[in-house]
Structure 1
Amino acid sequence: MLSINEIKKPIAADIDVFEEKFRSSMHSSVPLLDRITHYIVKRKGKQIRPMFVFFSASTCGGINEATHRGASLVELLHTASLVHDDVVDNSYQRRGFFSINALWKNKIAVLVGDYLLSKGLLLSLENDDFLILKIVSEAVRQMSEGELLQMEKVRRMDISEDIYYEVIRNKTASLIAACCAAGAASANADAETVEKMRLFGEKTGIAFQIKDDMFDFGTDDVGKPLGIDIKEKKMTLPLIYALNTTTTKEKKRIINLVKNHNNDVDKIAEIIKFVKDTGGLQYAESQMKKYQDEAFTILNTLPDGDARRGLEQLVRFTTERNK
């Protein structure tokens, strides 16, 4: 599998320009805000979402100024959501660094998230990018609904596979879907193509989240703490499948462990062993590959070229990674 730097070579120049524009888009006359946004930019991730925007635009007609604004909008709203998520989750680390709320406390973190959100909205409004704004705003609505639905189900512990897919479709896949649709829209693609790209992104996003959920049951050297979803009482696909294929007595026992583990290492290890022994990971892997294949089926209807191959490699990177 190619590295992320190898994948982005065809759009490397555009990514460089985007990063400069993204930094400029967060500028503020308030010194505190500038310090915080500078801290955020220095610790940015792999830029996978902007890459989906650029490759999608390139596939559907070509990258232009609207594409750069669309990528900045997506990244501003995504960053805002991460800042807010860390407050909601009482998380004090993000990608191995202190989170904004850990360094500047919750009140400032919430306001910074609001600031980034408003900057993204204004960037689109000031340039009349109404369709792109509509696409991305819809994703933000879905992300909020997905998060709230998950919180509700965590309390009740009654999540089914259908509910699980509804949660991850809204919470995770909607933003990747918006990236692909926004990229197509920025290249002036027709409505049918924009929807095709949105669906491609959604399938990719679902596969991505299933893969991410599988890490919770692996070793602790993959960048995600072992059992963190279990500690947070989240019902992910491997656990849901395992519970649905066991006896009623065993199901009740495991659910009780999930509810009352109190971060006990042995109890969490017992839950992980149960999931592995009942085929939960194998089932999740098969479902991840199903959605990956569905994404590739859509992708293969697009014109061949470097951009389409870039999207294929990006899908493989997000769904076949080891961390």
Structure 2
Amino acid sequence: MSNTEAAPATLSCRPDPAGPGVEVLTAREVPLGGPRAMRVRRTLPQRHRSLIGAWCFVDHYGPDRVAEAGGMDVAPHPHTGLQTVSWLFSGEIEHRDSLGTHGLVRPGEVNLMTGGAGICHSEVSTAATEILHGVQLWVALPDEHRHAPRAFEHYAPEPVELEGAVARVFLGALAGSKSPVVTFTPLLGAELVVEPHSRVTLEVDPTFEHGVLLDTGRICVGGSPLGLADLGYLGVGRTQLELTNLGDEPSRVLLLGGPPFGEPILMWWNFVARSHEEIVAYRDAWQSESEQFGRVEGYTGSPARLPAPPLPPVTIKPRRNP
């Protein structure tokens, strides 16, 4: 394949002086939800890397024309031991949960749901949505908070003008902007739109590891080029992070970060746990319609709730990072 730019600019992906090299995680395509499942690109978890900070799950989807692809319709399903973070680039999703929340996910507005000891929710793209495009993220809760009460927060960050970029910080702090959304470990979550042929240097916390997810455009991070939905991982110890837009159009990325999560976790289906026995108990509770997860009111799709898949015929092992 050729680069078809008529007058390509010279803008190199130079070696990153701020720290060691970048580990590039490529996505795999998987179905999301029930019988009308849409396709998403998943970069976390992977066999060789399960977490970046407490971020334990990264799905990237779209842009999809709903009239052709069918949109999102995920029936009520359970979660434990985690927070879900929804962020859209285009479209609109109706959220309902067993806390009683009924709200909309819109571009530039973060919705964070705390599952804790147990919650269930549904996600459906609205009739007004023509193009659906966004990410779904999970955050693992530390042991002392993983049975926290159900909770829900919504926040619309103001854009921050940087030299060569615009940032929206929805979790944590970056470039003088700080999110009020409550998390149980230090976290960073931000959308950055980098101007064409621009190089942006960000001051970052050296105790954090970071991940850069490419949504659109041509970006180098730390000297390494990323492809669509690639997640560039950078370890702790750096005080700066450099993004370079190689293209003629703006490029959009998500920047995720946090200190290394020091606890091994088990992830199976929609549950984050600490032992195989907990996973079995969570599945049994969901299948028996236990009050541990509550009920979602107002969802009219089919099935009325997603059944749990069969457990694997082996003991589920903890996920660890290198």
Q: TM-score range by the shorter chain?
A: under 0.3
Return the structure number with greater strand share: 2
Return the structure number with greater helix share: 1
